[in-house]
Amino acid sequence: MAAAKKRYTKTELNAFRKILEEEREGLQKQARDLEENSLGTSQSEQSGEMSFDEEFADAGTATFERERDLSISNNIKDLLDKIERALGKIENGSFGICERCGKSIEKARIKALPYAPLCIKDAQSEGRH
């Protein structure tokens, strides 16, 4: 934990906090917009029920759109969780420390993905499994 405090100044941590909070706000807006759009569809559309006179292609399109929205929603939730964890790490002094090996996450990686939980080596290793 001390390594993170030495690695990042208070000014840098505040800048990362601001970036993370702005990202969180944008994702929360996307989630609200997605939810509002989903609420605008009928119950039969949400459940996947289609009337007999609807074209087969229309049913496929509606299913695809539902699956796409669900995937986007899950991605938003995942990113929001990562952002919340990163903000917590800023508060507890462990920001920038790899969750797997305990070493410092490369500054370039943190600047690109301030919510990254793993160093590049461990992230690449995790991707192979």
Print pLDDT tens along the chain (129 aa). 444 445 789 999 999 999 999 999 999 999 999 888 875 654 445 455 555 555 666 667 777 788 888 899 999 999 999 999 999 999 999 999 999 999 999 999 999 999 999 999 999 998 764
Q: Of the candidates 76, 90, 86, which has an alpha carbon nearest to the alpha carbon of residue 113?
A: 86
- pTM, two decimals, is 0.74
Do 122 and 101 contact (CB within 8 A), yes or no?
A: yes
Q: Which residues pair with 97 in a beta bridge?
A: 104
When the candidates are 1.10.600.10, 1.20.120.910, 1.20.140.10, 1.10.1280.10, the CATH number that belongs to 2-127 is: 1.20.120.910
Do 105 and 96 contact (CB within 8 A), yes or no?
A: yes
pLDDT at 26: 97
Do 32 and 77 contact (CB within 8 A), yes or no?
A: no
Per-residue tokens: 13? 């941590």
